Amino acid sequence: MIIVREKISCPAGLPRIAIRVSREQLSKGRWRATADDGTEFGFDLVVPLKHGDCAYCTDRAAYILEQRPEKVLALPLPPTAAEAAGLAWQLGNLHCPIEITADSIFVADNPAVRKWLATGHLSYAETERIFSPQRPHVHEHTHH
């Protein structure tokens, strides 16, 4: 088993071998995965890795983390910054991960969020994508 402790830079042009992982795995410091070619990896990280990072490299191939797509709900971004911030704040109060892009707010699909959206008569679409929610700051305020 190959132990990975941090992201590395791989030379361009090498064939890529995927290490397919979930978003939950990528958020952890210690985990295991198997690459598409059967190579086993153990991850012992101080800083979490993300989709597209190179985890290991040989003279023949680069082992790249490939996050699996997941089901999310896509909400159109409100027209003003204040409305967008308000919607993001409300979703954050539901303790659901969100990702904001130039035209949409993506939120993890779960029954509580669907109910809240239905109650507020907010439109959304179901989609599947690589979901990269904003990560909280290390010293962020919590309710605990």
Tokens of 57: 């490299």
Question: Could you give the CA distance from residue 91 to residue 81 in angstroms, rounded to a whole number?
Answer: 15
pLDDT tens by residue, 60-98: 999 999 999 999 999 999 989 999 889 888 888 888 888
Query: The pTM is what?
Result: 0.77
pLDDT tens by residue, 13-49: 999 999 999 999 998 999 999 999 999 999 999 999 9
Amino acid (1-letter code) at residue 144: H
| CA 131 to chain centroid | 4
Judge whether residue 137 has pLDDT over 60. no
